Amino acid sequence: MLKAILFDLGDTLFDFEPMNRAEVFQVAGRKTYDFLASQGHALPPFKRYYKSHVWAVRWAYACSVIRRREFNVFDLLTKLCVRMQLQLDDATLRELAWQWYSPLTSHTEVAADVIPTLATLRDRGLKLALVSNTFIPGFVLDKHLSMHDLLEFFPIRVYSSEVGVCKPHPRIFEEALRQADVKAADALFVGDIVRKDIVGAQRVGMRAVLRKPAAINGHHRIADFVIRRISELHNIVSSFDTPISQEEMPLEALVSET
C-alpha cells in the first residue's frame, strides 16, 4: 500500500531557468559584501573578498566529491567571517547565508500544477517529504520553499547539507523514511537524475518516478515510471491501493461503517 511520496527539489519541484552560474555566484558575492558593509564591518577590497569566496567554495566542493561527504555553505561562510575577524551573531550569519543564496531565487519557477497536485496527494492521506542533494543550509531552502507556498506540504525535509551524505547514498533516503515512519516498499520517490534519484531510491526498496519534461513516452529502462509534469502523479497513485478519506468513500462503504 502506498503511504508516502518523497520528492527531490531542484528540477523536480523547482524548475531552474537557464543561467550563467558564474554571474549568479558573483551577484551572490556582491550581495554578501554589501550586506556586511551595511552592518559597519571593515572589509577587504571586493576583488580579494570575492576571490576568497570562490576558492573556498571550490575547495569545499572538491573535498566533498573526494570524501563523498556533503558540505554546508553556512559553515563555510562562518569560517570566512572568522578569518576576516568579523564578530557576527547567529542571526546575522543566517541572514548572510540567505543573501548568498537569494540571487538564485530569481531564476526559479514552480509549475502551476505543483501545488494543486501536492494538496490532492496530502488530502488522500499520503505523507510527503523532501530529499535533496544540496550544500545550502536547510533554513535557507525552507525560506525559499515558503516563498512559493511549498513549505506547508513538507513537514519532513532531509537535506544532504544536514545529513552529511548525498543521494544515491542509502542513508539519506532511509532518514526520510524513518521520519515518515514508512517502509521503503510503501513509498514512491520522484526525482530527475537517474543515477542519484532513481537508482538510489530503488536500491533501498522504493519504486521511483523520473520527472523528465522532454519525455516522449512514459517508459524508461530503469525508472518504474516517467512523467513530464508533477500532475501526472495522479495516474500513478491511482494504480496503487492507497487509503482514501471518508469524503471519497462510496455511499455503501460509509453506510457499512456506521
- Residue 17 φ/ψ, nearest 5 degrees: -70, 155
Q: pTM, whole model, 2 decimals?
A: 0.89
Is the separation of the CB atoms in 6 and 174 below 8 Å? Answer: no
How far is the first Cα of the chain from the last one, in angstroms, to the nearest whole number? 25
Banded pLDDT at 239 (limits 50, 70, 90): confident
Q: Which pLDDT value is given to residue 214?
A: 78
Sequential DSSP letters for 201-233: HHHTT-EEEEE-TT-SSS--SS-SEEESSGGGH
CA 117-212-229 angle, to 5 degrees, is 20
Q: Which pLDDT value is given to residue 30?
A: 97
What percentage of the chain exceeds 70 in pLDDT? Answer: 91
Q: Is the pLDDT of residue 100 over 70?
A: yes
Q: Which pLDDT value is given to residue 152?
A: 98
Q: Is the pLDDT of residue 245 over 80?
A: no
Measured between alpha carbons, how far is 12 from 133 in angstroms, rounded to an integer? Answer: 12
Is the separation of the CB atoms in 71 and 162 below 8 Å? Answer: no
Structural domain boundaries in the chain: 4-16+110-248, 21-106
Q: Is the pLDDT of residue 247 over 60?
A: no
- Residue 54 φ/ψ, nearest 5 degrees: -60, -50
Q: Which pLDDT value is given to residue 215?
A: 67
Measured between alpha carbons, how far is 70 from 165 in angstroms, rounded to an integer? Answer: 5
4-16+110-248 is a CATH 3.40.50.1000 domain: yes
Q: Which pLDDT value is given to residue 253?
A: 32
Q: Which pLDDT value is given to residue 241?
A: 59
Q: Which pLDDT value is given to residue 10?
A: 96
Instruction: List CB contacts of 19: < 8 A, sequence separation 6 or more.
Output: 107
Q: Is the pLDDT of residue 258 over 80?
A: no
What percentage of the chain exceeds 90 in pLDDT? Answer: 85
Banded pLDDT at 94 (limits 50, 70, 90): very high
Q: Which pLDDT value is given to residue 257?
A: 35
Is the separation of the CB atoms in 163 and 171 below 8 Å? Answer: yes
Measured between alpha carbons, how far is 229 from 13 in angstroms, rounded to an integer? Answer: 10
Write the pLDDT tens digit of every residue in 198-230. Answer: 999 999 999 999 999 876 666 788 999 999 999
Q: Looking at residues 113-121, what average pLDDT do you find? A: 98
Is the separation of the CB atoms in 169 and 219 below 8 Å? Answer: no
Among 57-61, 66-70, 84-88, 137-141, which range has the highest average pLDDT?
137-141
Q: Is the pLDDT of residue 46 over 90?
A: yes
